[in-house]
Amino acid sequence: MSASEPTRVGVLTVSDRASRGEYEDRGGPAVADFLQRRFAPGFARHDRLVPDDPDAISAALVELCDTVGCSLVITTGGTGPSPRDLTPEATRVVLERELPGFGERMRSISVDRVPTAILSRQIAGIRGRSLIVNLPGSPKAIEDCLEAVIPAIPHCLELLGAPPLPLSDGSTPLRHE
Amino acid sequence: MSASEPTRVGVLTVSDRASRGEYEDRGGPAVADFLQRRFAPGFARHDRLVPDDPDAISAALVELCDTVGCSLVITTGGTGPSPRDLTPEATRVVLERELPGFGERMRSISVDRVPTAILSRQIAGIRGRSLIVNLPGSPKAIEDCLEAVIPAIPHCLELLGAPPLPLSDGSTPLRHE
Amino acid sequence: MSASEPTRVGVLTVSDRASRGEYEDRGGPAVADFLQRRFAPGFARHDRLVPDDPDAISAALVELCDTVGCSLVITTGGTGPSPRDLTPEATRVVLERELPGFGERMRSISVDRVPTAILSRQIAGIRGRSLIVNLPGSPKAIEDCLEAVIPAIPHCLELLGAPPLPLSDGSTPLRHE
């Protein structure tokens, strides 16, 4: 990828109903809106929508990371305990290394206010130079969860050698040297 | 299972000493007492006692979930670092999907008061329409750990399509829509 | 091992640059200094330094646990998301059982002050009668992370049947009986 190309960010909605058109996707737009607000302008967003099918989820993640070249891919939906909620499993098979702190932090932030947040099974991790983060499907949960982890994302991409994705407020959080 | 059959809840004590009769089981009765207090009457409890043998633990879990048809199975004991503490491993092999938030929350709630709570290795997860949750063996730890996760259990069973298991106080915790 | 032999503690620095001599190891000395302050005198320390090579890391852990007979092995470095950070993976392959509470607690303690602490992937667990704990490489993170988990270490070794390693202040933290 040449230095002049923009940083690419993937947003993958996982939903049987939305992919059949029975239901308007609310998760994908909530993620997109959050990213546009909290990251500085200049990145290119690539949106995808798949059913709760593990092979379709894994294939979309591989396409966004390996073919499109996204530095960051956010999924929304399919992280609960329902029988069709298989996004974490479909994500795990394409990850090279997991980052357990993302799921821990998102659940820990949510649980004091929403006791059922412990049912959220989302994970995160690394594939090549891409960071993949699962989020729940509810717009309110998306807001809480992304806000809990977003300060660490620019530094993670830097460590992966990915193109830069600075926060819109220009802040760089404290880190251990 | 017909609609008129009660919701079934399994309580599995894992203890070499208790299973040999050298020691009175305190964990199982502590779990049973807690469940009777915190869930509304009307469920049927199925108690089991096995030694710290991984095959015996896995077999008892499969029997309680698949044959008895328990919607919820609570284990007590075998979650520490001692060489014979193998309940999490024996649970993992019968789970289809893990729910990492249960273990995280139980340890997080306990650790501020009891620093050795980080040694507890308990996990939780789903097998078919059954939720399995590991607890430590100490009655005090059982109380702390169950209280930390019980508000999420009725909603989890609902998402699994299992028979209802409402809390005795009728509360339904806030959830993300 | 005879009763008169001292408890052995391993300190394994994982760093490409330090192992090539391009960089003075700061992590290993920070761990060593912390251990000498917080554990009572009388244990023997065994220091090792390897590059960020998974096979070299795993081999050093096996040597410290199985040949040297360390009750406790602390690693420092290689826990982040950079492509060469593979200490957790190299640790996992030599563990018999994981202790998820160590990583959870270390990240949870650090993250309120240092948002990028969620990028730390450190794990801990048991090999035979040895406890292995991963730490980050930064001296400040080492201090925060070790302080968060050290009260549980003497009790863990006791449960493993390892030689005693008391805290220097003689404290024994509250535990669930």
Are A81 and B97 a contacting pair at CB < 8 A?
Answer: yes
- Whether the predicted pLDDT of C177 surpasses 80: no
Are B83 and C151 a contacting pair at CB < 8 A?
Answer: no
DSSP B115: G
Cα separation, B65 vs B9, in Å, equals 9
To the question of domain A8-160 being in CATH 3.40.640.10, the answer is: no
Q: Is B30 in the A-facing interface, judged by CB distances under 8 Å?
A: no
Q: Is C173 in the B-facing interface, judged by CB distances under 8 Å?
A: yes
Question: Given pLDDT bands bounded at 50, 70 and 90, which one contains residue A1?
Answer: very low
Q: Given the structure tokens 């305990």, which residue do they identify? A: A81
Q: Is B125 in the C-facing interface, judged by CB distances under 8 Å?
A: no
Are B152 and A118 a contacting pair at CB < 8 A?
Answer: yes
pLDDT of residue C176: 66
Q: DSSP string spanning chain C?
A: --TTSPPEEEEEEE-HHHHTTSS---HHHHHHHHHHHHBPS--EEEEEEE-S-HHHHHHHHHIIIIIS--SEEEEES--SSSTT--HHHHHHTT-SEE-HHHHHHHHHHHHTT-GGGGG----EEEETTEEEEEE-SSHHHHHHHHHHHGGGHHHHHHHHTPPP--BTT--------
CA distance A116 to chain B (A): 5
Contacts of C115 in chain A (CB under 8 A): 151-152, 173-174
Partner-chain residue, chosen from C98, C105, C160, that has the shortest CB–CB distance to B118? C105
Q: Is B121 in the C-facing interface, judged by CB distances under 8 Å?
A: yes
Helices C100-111 and A100-111: angle between axes, nearest 10 degrees: 70
Residue of C143, C142, C154, C149 lying closest to C124 (CA atoms): C149
Question: Given pLDDT bands bounded at 50, 70 and 90, which one contains residue B108?
Answer: very high
Contacts of C113 in chain A (CB under 8 A): 174
Substitution target in C23, C118, C120, C138 with the highest count of A β-carbons within 10 Å is C118
Cα separation, B177 vs A138, in Å, equals 6
pLDDT of residue C1: 45
- CA atoms lying within 13 Å on the CB side of residue A152: 28
Domain ranges, ordered by start, for chain A: 8-160
The pLDDT tens digits of the residues spanning B61-87 come to 999 999 999 999 999 999 999 999 999
- Whether the predicted pLDDT of B92 surpasses 80: yes
Q: Is B100 in the A-facing interface, judged by CB distances under 8 Å?
A: yes
CA distance C108 to chain B (A): 9
* Average of per-residue pLDDT across A60-66: 98
- CA atoms lying within 13 Å on the CB side of residue A163: 16
